Amino acid sequence: MKDVAVTCYIDSHKDIIAEFGWLYKSWLYSGSWLTSDIVAFHHPILSPEDLPQDKGVIYIPVMPFSDQYSQWQDYKFINSIGFMAAPEAGILANYKYVLRTDCDCFLTPYFNALRPRLTTFGGGQYTQVPNVTSRLMEVAERWKIAPVFTNVGSTLMGYANKVMMYSLVHLEYCRRLREEEFTDADFVKGNMGEWPGWYAGVLSMYAGQLAAQAYFGQAMNIGGLDVHCMCHDQLSPSDYHIHAWHTYQDFSKLKWREGKYLEHDMTILDITKISDYCLWITGSGPCE
């Protein structure tokens, strides 16, 4: 019996649908289909027949979290977390381990060996300036959380029960952070802050760090997940999962969406290198 569920949320946007295809193809190529199922929750408007068909892929319709709760209608990123609170997410308890990820990601051939004793997170890049770090520390102190780690990423893998419980804490901290730091009035007025400073556009990342520190404390690891897609190094045994970051460096999902790889010679790719592996999995672009 497969002991790992790779889970994500497929929203109705065409880019997210295309990116799920990357995750699926990497699941096949990496051999992960032998040891894991993909449990993909999706917008009910999507038909599973329009998505990759495989006996190892389970599709479950769930209304987007941002459609269920009006205070989140202007923050669609919450959908990549919110599905974990749906009753349908109980299916994940049938697995020993859960990888909660986004669609714009790639599993590597080394993913099959990952069975972390401690819940493992990827890394983020949202504390690039001092005022964000200090603001998060202020919130942590106010909420009586010991600030153990910083730049905790969006992807995590661990025992199913721990990933599911953490996800509920994460959602609650999203709500609490918005209530205290990014109010509805701020969203209406467009007072979102400015990246890379304290910015409402990544509040779910801030909340994820606070939730990880509160729920796991020091009993967690960071690394091996959310590897940078624009890295040109050789894939190593500690590179389990790659994330398509917002960048114009190769590999770039932004360039892919714009068809910038349509003329790229795919025969020269070295798929043992991280960036080339991503481009090879995705193909030349959406217009091919």
pLDDT digits (tens, 9 = 90+) for 151-192: 999 999 999 999 999 999 999 999 999 999 987 767 766 778
Closest CA to 26 of 121, 119, 110, 140: 110
Give the model's pLDDT for residue 165.
Answer: 98
Tell me how far apart the alpha carbons of residues 129 and 225 are, in angstroms, rounded to a whole number.
23
Give, in degrees to the nearest 5, the angle at Cα 124 between 121 and 129: 145
Give the model's pLDDT for residue 187.
Answer: 73
Average pLDDT over residues 79-99: 98
User: Any idea where the domains of the chain sit in the sequence?
Assistant: 4-282
Coil, strand, or helix at residue 36? strand
Average pLDDT over residues 262-269: 94
Coil, strand, or helix at residue 8? strand
Mean pLDDT (the chain) is: 95
* Amino acid at residue number 148: V
Average pLDDT over residues 240-250: 96
Give the model's pLDDT for residue 288.
Answer: 41
Average pLDDT over residues 227-245: 98
Give the model's pLDDT for residue 189.
Answer: 67
Tell me how far apart the alpha carbons of residues 156 and 169 are, in angstroms, rounded to a whole number.
14
- What contacts 55, CB < 8 A, 6 or more positions away? none
- What contacts 53, CB < 8 A, 6 or more positions away? none
- 4-282: which CATH number, 3.90.550, 1.10.1060, 3.90.70, 3.40.1340? 3.90.550
Better-predicted residue by pLDDT, 285 or 261: 261
- Give me the residue label for tokens 């190529």: 29
Rg of the chain (C-alpha set): 18
Tell me how far apart the alpha carbons of residues 279 and 125 are, in angstroms, rounded to a whole number.
22
Q: In this structure, what DSSP letter does residue 111 have?
A: G
